[in-house]
Amino acid sequence: MSRVVCLVPAHNEEDCLPKVLYSLVRQTRRPDKVIVIADNCDDRTVEVAEPYRVGFCVEVFETVGNRHKKAGALNQVLGAVLPRLGDEDMVLVMDADSYLDEGFIESAEERLAASWSSTSRYGGVGGTFRGRSGGGFVGMLQRNEYARYARDVRRLKGKVLCLTGTATLFSVKALKEVAKGRPSGDVYDVEVLTEDFELTLALKHLGYEVVSPKECTLTTEVMESWGDLARQRLRWKRGAVENLIQYGLTQVTLEHWARQLMTLTGIFVMALFLGTVAYSLIVAQEVHFYPLWISVTGIFVVERAITVHKRGWKMSFLASVLFVEMLFDLFLQAVHLKAYWQVLARSERSW
């Protein structure tokens, strides 16, 4: 029988960790072992994990001299764990601020195991996520964003471009192949900003597929301020672009590059729209309602409302207010442009 080992990298997560472990206790298919990776902690992370040692196979691993954040912490444990696991065993990697819904592991294990005897060879099975409460206005916008992402994944029958770092169940065989192909012999590349996306690209280039079934769901944190959100998204977007440059133009990265082009096109269209409005107000001193922009605006408003309907009619109504969602889009586009600039300027990275 295949074993499931769960790794929970945690840096000062004393508040969230009990809920994370409780979500694992509640799983319809419990992991055979849970390893809490206490990475450079100076709070009670190790202490709060102690009560779960008895009866739930929880171990605490404290990193030694790790300077490479989450990727480095995971590499220290995987280097010791993978050699003791068989090719048909599985490793669940999840963030210490995410709570799995109770059927996550069972559904992911079934999907991963089924691929071993089919033409679709999955290297990892990820999840779709909801945003937790909090964060006020900026938190609400993130919850809407996550709801749209989950809707898109469901409509695409689980097809995703990246295995989310919030929670993914990996094939041990696939992870061993990734490690074997790296000069360092490690699973995770510690030189990148977005280790989860880079690992997804590594798996795909080895011929593995990835999926996020509708049954694999969880709840994760939202950034509670615009500043925190800007730093998070800047790291995500810059990291993704650098990962694509690292791998170049291949059959695997082609779709990703196309999406980057679409994003730039969207930024251009938005700038053209705002420029037209500004010209009308400043130069002509009146607003002209151009049919093209009225149509584009109408489509945007309807799409914003429909794609969050699962969050209730009140949220759909609020999302249909033009400037609510447009503000968020402008914010994300500005962050994306800054990411491109940092890549071109090769500016110093920050986590």
Q: Same domain, yes or no, for 265 and 204? A: no
Q: Same domain, yes or no, for 190 and 83? A: yes
Condensed to tens digits (0 to 9), the pLDDT of residues 119-169 reads: 779 999 999 999 999 999 999 999 999 999 999 999 999 999 999 999 999
Phi, psi dihedral angles at 61 (to 5 degrees) = -115, 120
The CATH number of whichever domain residue 108 belongs to comes to 3.90.550.10
Measured distance CA(184)–CA(174) in Å, rounded: 16
Q: Same domain, yes or no, for 203 and 295? A: no
| 191 belongs to a structural domain | yes
Measured distance CA(102)–CA(26) in Å, rounded: 6
CB of 201 closer than 8 Å to CB of 213: no
Q: Does pLDDT of 100 surpass 70?
A: yes
Write out the residue range of the structural domain in which residue 207 sits.
Answer: 4-224
The two structure tokens encoding residue 279: 């010209």
Q: What is the pLDDT of residue 290?
A: 66
Q: Same domain, yes or no, for 123 and 214? A: yes
| 266 belongs to a structural domain | yes
Confidence of residue 293 (pLDDT cuts 50, 70, 90): low
The two structure tokens encoding residue 168: 């993914």
| 351 belongs to a structural domain | no
Q: What is the DSSP letter of 65?
A: S
Decide which of 204, 224, 244 is a domain's last residue.
224
Q: What is the pLDDT of residue 287?
A: 67
Q: Same domain, yes or no, for 220 and 258? A: no
Give the chain's length. Answer: 351
Measured distance CA(329)–CA(203) in Å, rounded: 31
* Average pLDDT score over the chain: 91
Measured distance CA(32)–CA(15) in Å, rounded: 24
The distance of Cα 322 from the centroid of its chain, to the nearest Å, equals 27
Q: Does pLDDT of 302 surpass 90?
A: no
- The pTM score is 0.92
Q: Same domain, yes or no, for 82 and 216? A: yes
165, 209, 325, 333 from 140: Cα distances, Å: 21, 32, 10, 18
Confidence of residue 289 (pLDDT cuts 50, 70, 90): low
| 230 belongs to a structural domain | no
- Mean pLDDT over 211-239 rounds to 96
